[in-house]
Structure 1
């Protein structure tokens, strides 16, 4: 009974990890899951399941840093590493989330146009205005409430789609056995990259600060992560993947085209459920992503990170309104997501390295356990390998201004991580030497 009471109590108070989960459960992740299911059948189901665990672990590490320092991540980095490191993190976050903002708006405008028949640019302006008025007017509390409702509705929509799409349970069970079919490595990297992303890691400390959470809410914050990333995001990912693996056979489909293709294959019910789920995911993701650049910029400039500070409110409104430009991009969403994936994948290892370093520094109020550190290092190695593979893939196609920019940024962040490792080693070695000298 006590456990049930605790769960009911936590369920009414959770929120920050749902905002992060809403970004994870967005069009980029959906596009990657569709590509994986349509191109390789059920064989990558194990990667989908693994991604939910990895995403939850990344959020847990970010949660520990936010709760145990009671600061935003940029402020902690500046206090314990210096201003240069803080600015590098801000640039990393703004690039990844800014480009994602435009592509997500393009997806949302395309879905809205498909459903209503109105031009996509009209929907882009309308959704940007809704974002600006809603977020700048009501702030985080409105976003959190809308996010929980939308994510729950999206999960239910995709669960419902499983009942109208024929699933081969035997083949799906076989997909839980780790294996990588030929040519699937990049797609598998995309699935993992959608759950472990720099925007999700960096925003978590700020959303918890807005909620007023401190170290005393540690159990609540942990429950929040489990409910949103492991349960809600996990169901979302598995459901989309199973639908795509069951009935789609064209890996080059965009997310909107995949929804349209479901109509003649398994009926209009599945098509509309998929479209509504895609639209809801795009709305919740766009709202969550909008607050990320203002959080880190305001923190670096010493501003408040709530709408009570007029400077933060103006910055939030500006980001929301600028996202309307994404609606005029046009073209295939999957092609545009290459850039989003590149910047996100390249930038994520640096954010993880900072979090792991800070969790083992005087910045936190309690020591980090061995198991947590092992998980953090494993995440760093996996995300680093994904980033290296992606950059190598881009360069293999020839160095152009885009791939060259990605390469230059990757090299800069790689050098920064090497510097961070050297700094940590010197600090540990220095403490050890001091202790030996004192004992002698």
Structure 2
């Protein structure tokens, strides 16, 4: 009898945890978006199962990156920009803000392009009209309801997206042997951009930096440490991991080219795997795109408002104004021409270039006087491994871009990489210098 009672209590506790969690699901909603989908389609269609190891690694690395961000947010109970400003200085804080604005801003336009294009495919209404409509809906929803509106939508859409893509997996034949061989790490020629895009979907500066703000919106403190850890595992490791694996295996099993947009990939599934698979893919894509659009919109306003010392809730009119501006400025994305697939993979890879800097910032702060309890040796080693992986993929991506010839775009990417690499090296040197002199303290 006691075992039965204990089992019921456990189920109730688990259900309550699911109802209470949320902040990491916003990160999961951004991660499981059209940019990740584009990279997964390119990886599966262009290289078969060869990059399966990167897909699995992305879920594990994404969950660990969010854990580090979660730990910093809970132990400081402040936004990351304010913590950086106090313990590193004003210049470092502005550099972090600029990094996020560039990464999230470039992604926002292409996410809107995807939302509008999928909406046009499903309804027949012009994508440019949909771009304006979605921008207004987003502005009104965020300005009136703020974070809570986003969290509810994100949790519902991410759950639906995972179900849709898992269902499509069951109607597509998968070569289990080839998939198993794809778990052996290898980078086929020309795949650095794709691999960086896949990993960049999960380990991205936007996800890392905004997590402290979403937890503050829920008023979580160190008392919710267990719940916050469960939140990260359920959303990033389980939900995002299932999404990534399902999309990758579907495309690797059926598509024979990675040169397809997400919508074209869905259409290609029709004759190859049936109309059921096509519509599941389209609906999953729309859900992923809409949820990502909302979460990504909030990232720059969070950091900008924190840097200015404003409140990061809609009770502050200045922050609300930033939200509305970010939402409406996404509308022009629906008017961008060109192949969305390569564009989405590129912006994710650009985000990957900025991510090592964000990881170093978080590790620095976690091992400084900013937090009352330093991380374990194992956690630090995991953080360094995460830094090594993201740094290597970012370096490969930049090298591949430069090898193709330096034009305006690749030159801008190279300059961006050089600035952030210099900042990362400088921050590591600063930590080593201060730690040799004693415990790392606040900025003088």
TM-score (norm 1): 0.96
Residue 154 of structure 2 corresponds to: 147
What SS does structure 2 have at the residue aligned with 1:177? coil
Distance 1:178 1:117 in 2: 42
Q: Does 1:293 align with 2:304?
A: no
Q: Does 1:202 align with 2:196?
A: no
Residue 435 of structure 1 corresponds to: none
Q: Does 1:222 align with 2:229?
A: yes
Deviations 1:204-234 (A, max 9, x none): 0000000000001000000000000011001
Residue 389 of structure 1 corresponds to: 396
Q: Following superposition of structure 1 onto structure 2, how do residues 306-385 of structure 1 map, counting pairs within 5 Å?
A: 306-385=313-392
Q: Is the 8 A contact 1:95 1:343 kept in 2?
A: no
Residue 121 of structure 1 corresponds to: 128
Residue 258 of structure 1 corresponds to: 265
Q: Is the 8 A contact 1:342 1:391 kept in 2?
A: no
Q: How many matched pairs?
A: 433
Distance 2:436 2:173 in 1: 59
Distance 2:106 2:309 in 1: 25
Q: Is the 8 A contact 1:27 1:255 kept in 2?
A: yes
Q: Does 1:172 align with 2:179?
A: yes
How far off is 1:46 after superposition? 2.0
What SS does structure 1 have at the residue aligned with 2:48? helix
What SS does structure 2 have at the residue aligned with 1:165? coil
Q: Is the 8 A contact 2:52 2:182 kept in 1?
A: yes
Q: Is the 8 A contact 2:192 2:397 kept in 1?
A: no
1:131 to 138, 153, 172: 138
How far off is 1:292 after superposition? 0.3
2:66 to 35, 49, 59: 59
How far off is 1:50 after superposition? 1.2
Distance 2:256 2:37 in 1: 16
Deviations 1:393-419 (A, max 9, x none): 222222222222221221111111121
Moved more, 188-197 or 251-260: 188-197
Deviations 1:276-310 (A, max 9, x none): 00010000000000000000000000101010101
What SS does structure 1 have at the residue aligned with 2:171? coil
1:77 to 75, 78, 84: 84
Moved more, 190-199 or 330-339: 330-339
What SS does structure 2 have at the residue aligned with 1:118? coil
Residue 269 of structure 1 corresponds to: 276
Unaligned runs of 5+ in 2: 1-5, 440-444
How far off is 1:338 after superposition? 4.6
How far off is 1:124 after superposition? 0.1
Q: Does 1:242 align with 2:249?
A: yes
Distance 1:164 1:264 in 2: 13
Q: Which runs of 4+ in 1 moved over 4 A?
A: none
Distance 1:277 1:317 in 2: 26
How far off is 1:256 after superposition? 0.9
Deviations 1:229-272 (A, max 9, x none): 01100110010011101110011111111011111111111111
Q: Is the 8 A contact 1:24 1:195 kept in 2?
A: yes
Q: Does 1:98 align with 2:105?
A: yes
What SS does structure 1 have at the residue aligned with 2:337? coil
What SS does structure 1 have at the residue aligned with 2:129? helix
Unaligned runs of 5+ in 1: 433-440
